[in-house]
């Protein structure tokens, strides 16, 4: 993995539940890591759903190894949030490939 290719900055966020004094539960996303990344592939697909046409954006990020990332986390890049679908380890903890889908 070459440092020169890691030309984007992404934030990895994890959802946490917060209980208010009134007893209501609300969810918020907190940043667990901010790292440099390379965009390996970016695509957009249109498909038919029950309510009409929909569009999804898929993106693959390559980052240096960050321990503890799961598919319950999400990536924020360029003002947009992406849900993690798949995480692949590159080598022996050298890096990760994060396959993500844009949230609606």
Give the CATH number of the domain where residue 27 resides.
2.40.10.270
- pLDDT tens track for 1-20: 677 888 899 999 999 998 98
CB 56 within 8 A of CB 49: no
Task: Give the per-residue pLDDT at 30.
Answer: 95
CB 46 within 8 A of CB 55: yes
Number of compact structural domains in the chain? 1
Across the chain, what does the average pLDDT equal? 87
Task: Residue 45: give the domain boundaries.
Answer: 3-102
List the beta strands (DSSP E) in 1-73: 8-19, 25-49, 52-64
Q: How many CB atoms lie within 10 A of CB 37?
A: 23
Measure the CA–CA gap between 44 and 57, rounded to whole angstroms. Answer: 4
Residues linked to residue 84 through DSSP beta bridges, in sequence order: 100
């Amino acid at each position: 993995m070459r440092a020169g290719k890691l030309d984007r900055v992404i934030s990895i966020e994890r959802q946490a539940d917060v209980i208010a004094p009134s007893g209501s539960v609300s969810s918020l996303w907190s940043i667990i890591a901010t790292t440099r990344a390379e965009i390996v592939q970016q695509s957009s697909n249109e498909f038919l759903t029950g309510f009409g046409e929909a569009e999804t954006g898929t993106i693959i990020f390559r980052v240096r190894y960050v321990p503890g990332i799961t598919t319950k986390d999400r990536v924020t890049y360029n003002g947009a949030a992406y849900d993690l679908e798949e995480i692949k380890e590159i080598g022996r903890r050298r890096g990760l490939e994060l396959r993500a889908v844009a949230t609606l």
